[in-house]
Amino acid sequence: MTETSSSITYANRPWIKHYDTGIPQTLNYPDVPLHHFLRQIAHTHPQAPALLTTAKLPLVGRLTHRLTYAELDQFSDAFAAYLIANGQKKGDRVAIIMPNCAAFAIVFYGILKAGGVVAATNPTYPPDKMAHQIADSGAETAIVTSLFYKTIKNIQPQTQLKKIVVSNIKEYLPPLAKALFTLTRDKKDGHAVDPLAAHDVWLQNVLTKYRGHRVQIDVKADDLALFQYTGGTTGVAKAAVAQHKALVANTIQMDAFLKILGIPGSEHIYLGAVPMFHVYGLVVLLSSSVYQGSQIVLIPNARDIDEVIDCIDFYKPTMLPGVPALYNAINNHPRVLSKEVSLASLKFCFSGSAPLPFSTRQEFERLSGSKLREGFGMSEAPTATHVNPLTRDPRQGSIGLPLPDMDMRIVSLDDGVTDVPVGEVGELIISGPNVMMGYHHMPTETSNALREANGKHWLYTGDIARMDEDGYFYIVDRKKDMALIGGFNVYPTVIEDVIKNHPAVLEVGVAAVPHPEKEGQEALKAWIVLKPNASATEKEIIAHCAAKLAPYEVPRRIVFIKELPKTAVGKTLRRELIRLETDSR
């Protein structure tokens, strides 16, 4: 006898039946801090390479510097000793303002070993946004790459920062590449800083001075580990506060999913293109790689798609956590299309941070032969909560199945309490071992996001979603992005999915803007990036939408642009699109 939809409930966890063979429904989580995994792998495989810093030189070719797990452990010990010697107390926040580089991993683990809390910030943020996050965190120490040192000094009076530790991006380059960088790019590109201001120090001087030191701070699994700022797509950023045990849990959840590949972790090479200052890169890239004893090929700037393609060609990575925009760029790169560069080394690729178009996944899998699976996560549950199975065909438009030990419900948009029937839309709420403690210094926002019911703490995601009868989840849109058009609820993501299937469209963003003719009402507008050498007209796009959408869902205002405004991990900034519209009036 088969289950009917009326007999299926969220409490039954119907998704478990559709897990890949070998994935348990529950896992064991050690009562340890996150840096325990680094200590462990440095003890068992000290000479295994952890971080690869790379550069390509004219007439020479590509060179590599390999930082071993023993060195990563020792250098982070030295940095922890520096922090303690300079007054760092357990629970103090420390800011990191760096792209993907070896120094990021060193100071990240050093902060944790000293009992500190990491508050990482996008180094390319506008100064006022950066200042807000650093000031809000209360950090008194910041680690920054030298390219952004001047920016930090300019905003320092707006923060509590007392000391800045500076690292040059060249520090872990291979010797020849480092020398050439010093001669040709250091001063020209703004990396050289001489001298540092009083009280500021160079990271390499710190690591030399405290080399061999090992601090003995008793860091517990319940202690705070991370301030992950979120809300960049909707307004003022909030610091989602995570304990060590939340990061440990999510690292182990991801590992359980990846183990079914049957490849030892030491054989995995990650292409490190997602930024580690974002929780996606911090957990799915850095923490997962360290837990498995894998290697990361560091990509400081994933927008340099030529460098990404060249590193795929040279290092033959097996794992690529990415975003749809990256996969789109890889799919359309001339060296890939001409088959000059093979993607065949890739075994598994994970897409997050934005909806993955079916056509993008299909083309990438055709070109690579690997599996590209869409997942879902949040800064408030750092980071992954759902992923599509590896051994089954992913369901089009689905973010996949909840990870082990995760509970999910879809509740009414009207009361936020009542479970809606399976298949109907409502707000996605989450409970699990990786959920945050709350938002720093924001009690109202915390009480809105975290609520208790049936003996569990539930995170209200703000995402409108549905679950099918097999436990696959589908994100319809953000609650804040839902538009009211002609009295109907309209979801911009649904419209974007339709427009993305037009053969000429590379990317699209849809948002509701003030109606130009009807005061107090909204109208839909689409901003479209076309594929290289492709063309389309406004009428063609409208006709394409009209064939697949209800009349009130069809955007009547179309504009073609060169690039969509995005976050560092590829989410379209709809509020920036709306700002473009209002600024043009």
pLDDT of residue 54: 97
Residue with tokens 């649904």: 494
Q: Between 231 and 192, whose confidence is greater? A: 192
- How far apart are alpha carbons 103 and 123 in whole angstroms? 14
| Average of per-residue pLDDT values in the chain | 93
CB atoms within 10 A of CB 424: 11
CA distance 464 to 427: 5
pLDDT tens digits, one per residue of 168-186: 999 999 999 999 999 999 9
How far is Cα 565 from Cα 111, in angstroms, rounded to an integer? 32
Please calculate the CA angle 205-210-214 and round it to the nearest 5 degrees: 150
Q: Could you tell me the domains of the chain?
A: 37-51+60-219 (3.40.50.980), 483-583 (3.30.300.30)
Confidence at residue 67, expressed as pLDDT on a 0 to 100 scale: 98
Query: Which tokens sit at 218?
Result: 């008793």
Q: How sure is the predictor about 584, in pLDDT bands with cuts at 50, 70 and 90?
A: low
The pLDDT confidence band at residue 261, using thresholds 50, 70 and 90, is confident
Residue closest to 286 by CA, chosen among 312, 432, 297, 262: 297
What local confidence, expressed as pLDDT, does residue 354 receive?
82
Which has the minimum average pLDDT: 89-103, 182-196, 220-234, 348-362?
A: 220-234
Q: Taking residues 309-314, report their average pLDDT.
A: 98
Task: Quickly state the pLDDT bin for 552 (edges 50, 70, 90).
Answer: confident
- Is the pLDDT at 234 greater than 60, yes or no? no
* pLDDT(250) > 90: yes
Per-residue pLDDT reduced to its tens digit, 111-165:
999 999 999 999 988 898 899 999 999 999 999 999 999 999 999 999 999 999 9
* Cα atoms in the Cβ-side hemisphere of radius 13 Å centred on 87: 5
Q: Given CA atoms 106, 79, 441, 31 in this order, what sign does their dihedral have?
A: positive
Q: Residue 104 — pLDDT band, cuts 50, 70, 90? A: very high
Average pLDDT over residues 32-47: 98
**Gap between the Cα atoms of 42 and 48, Å rounded:** 8
Cα 423–492–515 angle (5° rounding)? 135
Q: What is the pLDDT of residues 414-447, one digit of tens each?
A: 899 999 999 999 999 999 999 999 999 999 999 9
| The pLDDT value given to residue 233 | 41
Mean pLDDT of 579-585: 71
Confidence of residue 569 (pLDDT cuts 50, 70, 90): confident
Instruction: Classify 67 as helix, strand or coil.
Output: strand
pLDDT at 5 over 70: no
Query: How much is the CA Rg of the chain, to the nearest whole Å?
Result: 24
* pLDDT computed for residue 574 by the predictor: 86
pLDDT at residue 4, rounded to an integer: 52
| Confidence (pLDDT) at 232 | 46
**What's the pLDDT at 488?**
77
- Tell me the pairing of strands 49-57 and 61-68: antiparallel
Mean pLDDT of 514-520: 75
User: For the residues of 498-530, what is the DSSP string, one character each?
Assistant: HHHTSTTEEEEEEEEEE-SSSTT-EEEEEEEEE
Arithmetic mean of pLDDT, 295-314: 97
DSSP 286: I
